[in-house]
Amino acid sequence: MTTPYLGEDLILVLSPPRSGSTMLQRILGTHSQVQTHPEPHVLTPLAFQGVFHQIERAAFNHRVAAGALREFVEFLPRGEEDYLDACRAYCAVLYGRARAVSGKRYFVDKTPNYADTILPFIVRLLPKARYIVLTRHPVAQIASHANTFVGGDFQRSQFQRDIPGTFIPPLARLLRERPVPVTHVRYEDLVSDPEAVVRRLLEQLGLDFEPACLRFGDAEHVTKTYGDPNIARHKAPVADSLSRWVDDLVDRPDRERVCREALAAIAPADLAVLGYPAETLWQPLLQAQRGRGRVAANSAALRWHDGRWRAVAMLGRTLARPSWRRRLIRLRDRLDALVSYSARRHGGGAS
């Protein structure tokens, strides 16, 4: 039996959207020993075939197929390990042939969805990959997403995608538990002192520092649909966006309210492990508000507002526990059966 592929030649950049991951991907991809391609989504289909995660919309009954596949995997001599070996063979072909295009040592896969709920699956699948976690001030992420994709509409942006709630908990867990070696990089450090951060990254990858990496905009890169649509504006890391989120919020209490609601659901311990302690998270905004004579954000009204959303977050975490999740799944299945019965009774048929 051949040795399974475990990701030895793979660099996975894990980060929430709007954290500078396209910039970091291009910095690494400029190196003479690194090949990359924008957000290939190689791993997401594997995670949602039905053994570890499920999707509900497909051209077939996905729950039936997932159950059948799990039963088949249980029949295999080594169970899930045989299934993971099959997934690794898929990764070996795709990543290996992508790297072979140039004959370079590493391939960088930067796909933001990897940092979602499927992260434990990826860690188990590819335990020898090089993991880089890139984080950014969470309010800056919300602001950047709103400004880039929905014309500065913070409420609409948060409705479309809850970036902090989706990405902070799994990344914090990875950094806290470290089931695989992980390098943590903060966006703020990367743009403030890029040479020091890039030297550290390359050293940990066993690569020599190449100054060209800091001028990633001078190199040719594969440009496809996905990635930062504004990346071409800069040829090198710049720090001019570090405080932009403060300017976006200082005179806009409506935007501040959206951000506070989004972050009230995040455990302070998770914020701290990502490098953004709750006690200092809002300090830049508070300073700007005091400078303009605004009401301090730690007023009784805002304390009540934050407390209300913490209670909502606590309820959400309770419902996310396995025991409650099983109850909700059973309830969903019973409702599905009721809808199906009702449709048959009234001549509508079952879908």
Residue 227 has pLDDT above 80, yes or no: no
d(CA 6, CA 199): 26
Q: What local confidence, expressed as pLDDT, does residue 330 receive?
A: 76
Pairwise pLDDT comparison (91 vs 332), residue with the higher score? 91
pLDDT per position as a tens digit, 295-316: 544 455 555 555 555 565 566 5
d(CA 273, CA 292): 32
Entry pTM = 0.81
Q: What local confidence, expressed as pLDDT, does residue 349 receive?
A: 43
Residue 71 has pLDDT above 70, yes or no: yes
Beta-sheet strands, E only, within the chain:
10-14, 34-38, 106-110, 130-135, 182-186
Question: Per-residue b/e over 152-171, b at no fewer than 16 CB within 10 Å?
Answer: eebeebbeeeebbbbbbbbb
How confident is the prediction for the chain on average, in pLDDT? 87
- Mean pLDDT over 266-285 rounds to 96
Q: What local confidence, expressed as pLDDT, does residue 351 receive?
A: 37
Residue 346 has pLDDT above 50, yes or no: yes
Question: Per-residue b/e over 112-140, b at no fewer than 16 CB within 10 Å?
Answer: bbbbbebbbbbbebbeebbbbbbbbbbbb
- Mean pLDDT over 223-237 rounds to 75
d(CA 266, CA 293): 29
pLDDT per position as a tens digit, 242-255: 999 999 999 999 99
CA distances from 238 to 77, 167, 235, 347 (A): 53, 24, 9, 64
Element (H, E) at 265: none
Q: What local confidence, expressed as pLDDT, does residue 313 receive?
A: 57
Q: If pLDDT is split at 50, 70 and 90, which confidence band does 291 have?
A: confident
Q: What local confidence, expressed as pLDDT, does residue 297 receive?
A: 44
d(CA 282, CA 310): 17
- Closest to 142 measured CA to CA, from 281, 26, 304: 281
Q: What local confidence, expressed as pLDDT, does residue 350 receive?
A: 41
22-26, 100-104, 188-192, 209-213: least confident range: 100-104
Percent of the chain with pLDDT over 70: 84
Q: What local confidence, expressed as pLDDT, does residue 62 receive?
A: 75
Percent of the chain with pLDDT over 90: 64
Q: What local confidence, expressed as pLDDT, does residue 310 receive?
A: 57
- Mean pLDDT over 120-140 rounds to 97
Q: If pLDDT is split at 50, 70 and 90, which confidence band does 334 have?
A: confident
Q: What local confidence, expressed as pLDDT, does residue 296 receive?
A: 47
Q: If pLDDT is split at 50, 70 and 90, which confidence band does 84 have?
A: very high
* DSSP letter (8 states) at residue 290: H
